[in-house]
Amino acid sequence: MTVPPEVLGDALSRDGIETLREGRLVIACPRSERQIKALLTRAGRDGLRVVPAGLLSKISGLRPEVMEGDVDLVLSLRNLSKVIDFVPGDGTLTAQAGCIWSDLGRTVRESGLQLPTDMPLPSRTTLGGALASGMSGPDRLRRGPLRHHVLGAHVILSDGTRAKSGGRLVKNVTGFDLHRLYTGSRGTLCVLIEASLRLFPTPEETCALTRPCADAAEAFQLAEDLRRRHVDPLSVTIEGGARDPWRLHVVLVGRQVELPSALARASEVLGDAERIEGADAHNLRAELRDRVCHGGAWAQLRLSGPPARTHLAHAMLARFLGNDPLWRVVAQPGVASLEVFAPTLAAHTVADQIALLNDLRATLTDSGHRLEPIALPGATHLGLAADLAGDPARRWMRNLQRRYDPLGRFTCPSYPGRAPTLGATS
């Protein structure tokens, strides 16, 4: 059921809930758990489709243009922004979901600690949004993805019950790791209201090596050579495209005494690379972190697969997108991820996008790769997702969705490969 936004907005304001509007979307910003529960009760009563969110900066499914028509109410957690518990001596942090990632970073920095990942666009990202989107920064190569460092969470389920899992401890196996299930669930299971993270010591030194490459193949080959030589960088990024030259960036961190040998080893592989140190190295690290968003726009596609075969995925991709004069890639070969900017693709009709991506996907699947649409219309996401509806893993996901949200109150147009028949038992 679609309630006219102005009617819904007025009603929420009368209930004392701060409400914003973005186009036809109503964004409710509750200030308490009680208000969240009230919103969910209303959603249940009025049959509203709700999507929990932070600042609406992250995943494509939460971009206003994708959501319109598919979502009645955005439940933004931005007003729940307290740090609940920071224990420097234990290296843990517990905070409400609306805390801004960069603010949390500042909180822990004074104690020589840092958050578990270099989250892209940290000043536009909430803790809850980061977790729900399942995103991690390029430093995941060394540290692993964010989801590995979530120690516990408190959530509100669609029926208004509050539930916790895990805890605030760096080691703990008590009960199911539901916080792992919620991380990356893009708000389709529950509203994340609080989470605990493991922190890492801030490295003494950061430096980077960066060099141009003749083509993508050379860049991928160098990345693989680094891996074979067991160089252990914080991140490796390759970028380039139809109009941009190819470059390889390697960021190294560690103790002061340790870095020279790491640098020497990396330099042996990379040859004539430019060495960047001090504040410049920190700046480059931050720029690489934000590369997933190019010129203010998210990539259209993400490809992932076995790390050793990222170059193959890239080669196939190049064949498919070769006609796009604007296509561009940001790859993290060690973690097998390729962000693909293909603005011309976005200009195609939905039907053409689906046809092209289905072809591309069929080719990629053979080499063990997966294709995920990001900044493309919700209809494209759904068109592709329907193909996978029969997969037993999808069935498990749908069953989970049904048990956590029996009335289908939470929605994310693209996720998790929602079958058109959502609601029917399989």
Partner 1 sequence: MALPYLEELRAIVGDAGLVTDRAGRLAYESDALSLEKQLPELVVLPLDTAQASAVMRVLSKHGVPIVPRGAGTGLAGGATPVAGGVSLSTARMREILEIDPVGRTARVQAGVVNAELTRRAAPHDLFYAPDPSSQAACTLGGNVANNSGGPHCFKHGATTRHVLGMIVVDADGEVIDLSHQGPDPDGFDLIGLIVGSEGMFGLVTEVTLKLVPIPDATETILAVFPSLDSACDTVTEAIARRLEPSAIEILDELTIDAVERSVFAAGYPREAKAVLLLECEGSAAEVEATSADLTELCQEHGCLEIRTARDDADRRRLWAGRKGAFGAMGRIAPDLYVADVVAPRTRLREIVRIATDICHERGLKVSNVFHAGDGNLHPNISYDRRDTDEVRRVLEAGELIMRACIERGGSLTGEHGVGLEKQEHMCHLFDESDLDAMRRAREALDPDLRMNPGKMIPIRGCREMRTPEPMPQGDDR
Residues 240-259 that bind partner 1 (CB under 8 A): 254-255, 257-258
Q: Which residue has the tokens 């803790």?
A: 127
CB of 162 to partner 1, least distance (A): 6
Rule CB under 8 A: say whether 331 interacts with partner 1: no
Q: How far apart are CA 242 and CA 202, in angstroms?
A: 37
CB of 280 to partner 1, least distance (A): 23
CB of 216 to partner 1, least distance (A): 18
Among 29, 51, 119, 157, binds partner 1 (CB under 8 A): 157
CB of 164 to partner 1, least distance (A): 5
Rule CB under 8 A: say whether 423 interacts with partner 1: no
The region of 49-57, 240-248, 275-283, 368-376 touching partner 1 under the rule CB under 8 A is: 368-376
Q: How far apart are CA 141 and CA 149, in angstroms?
A: 14
- Total number of residues shown for the chain: 426
Nearer to partner 1, 76 or 304 (CB): 304
CB of 40 to partner 1, least distance (A): 14
CB of 57 to partner 1, least distance (A): 18
The region of 35-43, 211-219, 345-353, 366-374 touching partner 1 under the rule CB under 8 A is: 366-374
Among 297, 355, 393, 407, binds partner 1 (CB under 8 A): 393
Rule CB under 8 A: say whether 336 interacts with partner 1: yes
CB of 172 to partner 1, least distance (A): 5
Sites for partner 1 among residues 114-153 (CB under 8 A): 134, 136, 140, 144-145, 147-148
**Which residues does 267 contact at the CB level (< 8 Å), separation at least 6?**
209, 273, 275
Nearer to partner 1, 216 or 252 (CB): 252
Q: How many residues bind partner 1 (CB under 8 A)?
A: 80
CB of 25 to partner 1, least distance (A): 25
Nearer to partner 1, 1 or 173 (CB): 173
Among 232, 244, 290, 387, binds partner 1 (CB under 8 A): 232
CB of 204 to partner 1, least distance (A): 10
Among 227, 249, 285, 328, binds partner 1 (CB under 8 A): 227
User: Per-residue x/- mask for partner 1, residues 75 to 104, rule CB under 8 A?
Assistant: ------------xxxxx-------------
Q: How far apart are CA 91 and CA 109, in angstroms?
A: 11
Rule CB under 8 A: say whether 372 interacts with partner 1: yes
Rule CB under 8 A: say whether 168 interacts with partner 1: yes
Nearer to partner 1, 12 or 189 (CB): 189
- Torsion sign, CA atoms 65, 71, 77, 78: positive
3-state secondary structure the chain: CCCCHHHHHHHHHHCCCEEEEECCEEEEECCCHHHHHHHHHHHHHHCCCEEEECCCCCCHHHCHHHHCCCCCEEEECCCCCCEEEEECCCCEEEEECCCEHHHHHHHHHCCCEECCCCCCCHHHCEHHHHHHHCCCCCCHHHHCCHHHHEEEEEEECCCCCEEEEECCCCCCCCCCCHHHHHCCCCCCCCEEEEEEEECEECCCEEEEEEEEECCHHHHHHHHHHHHHCCCCCCEEEEEEECCCCEEEEEEEEECCCCHHHHHHHHHHHHCCCEEEEHHHHHHHHHHHHHHHEECCEECCEEEECCHHHHHHHHHHHHHHHCCCCCCEEEEEHHHCEEEEECHHHHHCCHHHHHHHHHHHHHHHHHCCCEEEECCCCHHHHHHHHHHHHHCHHHHHHHHHHHHHCCCCCECCCCCCCCCCCECECC
Sites for partner 1 among residues 13-72 (CB under 8 A): none
Rule CB under 8 A: say whether 400 interacts with partner 1: yes
CB of 320 to partner 1, least distance (A): 18
Rule CB under 8 A: say whether 170 interacts with partner 1: yes
Rule CB under 8 A: say whether 362 interacts with partner 1: no
Rule CB under 8 A: say whether 185 interacts with partner 1: yes
